[in-house]
């Protein structure tokens, strides 16, 4: 998955695709037979979401994010992921499920009209 680009014209469709893509990737990881490799892939996905969250909350992006409803709403997505530590194989399924929990929040509590 590509790095999130902060743009004032980001669309709901783009952000929906990102959220859905993250959940899809989490499902793929959860189905992996090699759990050590799955844990590595989870950490990559976790870091991607954390990177998105960090970029969205940077002060230089504040005006753009606050003025773009899809980005503003997506900025709360990462806040709704509550990982279980330590990040190990025993907690892998629980942590991967968190992406769906955040996705549920994203779709239930959104600000789009219509």
Q: How high does pLDDT run on average in the chain?
A: 95
Tell me: the pLDDT tens digits for 13-26?
A: 999 999 999 999 99
pTM, rounded to two decimals: 0.93
Could you please report the per-residue DSSP string of 13-73? HHHHHHHHHHHHHHHHHHT-S-HHHHHHHHHHHHHHHHHHHHHHH-GGGHHHHHH-HHHHH
pLDDT of residue 113: 58
pLDDT of residue 114: 43
pLDDT tens-digit map of 26-63: 999 999 999 999 999 999 999 999 999 999 999 999 99
State the pLDDT confidence band at 110, using cuts at 50, 70 and 90: confident
Which one, of 26, 42, 52, lies nearest residue 86 by Cα? 42
Q: Whole-angstrom Cα distance, residue 6 to residue 40? A: 27
Q: Are 100 and 23 in contact (CB under 8 A)?
A: yes
* Residue 33, helix vs strand vs coil: coil
* Rounded distance between C-alpha atoms, residue 56 and residue 65, angstroms: 7
Give tens-digit pLDDT for 80-107: 999 999 999 999 999 999 999 999 999 9
CA distance 12 to 8: 12
């Amino acid at each position: 998955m590509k790095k999130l680009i902060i743009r004032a014209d980001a669309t709901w469709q783009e952000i929906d695709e990102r959220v859905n893509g993250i959940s899809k990737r989490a499902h793929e990881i959860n189905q992996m037979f090699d759990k050590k490799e799955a844990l590595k892939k989870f950490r990559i996905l976790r870091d991607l979401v954390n990177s998105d969250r960090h970029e969205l909350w940077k002060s230089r992006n504040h005006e753009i994010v606050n003025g773009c409803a899809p980005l503003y709403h997506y900025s709360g997505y990462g806040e709704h992921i509550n990982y279980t530590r330590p990040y190990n194989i025993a907690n892998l399924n629980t942590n991967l499920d968190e992406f769906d929990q955040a996705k549920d929040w994203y779709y239930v509590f959104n600000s789009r009209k219509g």
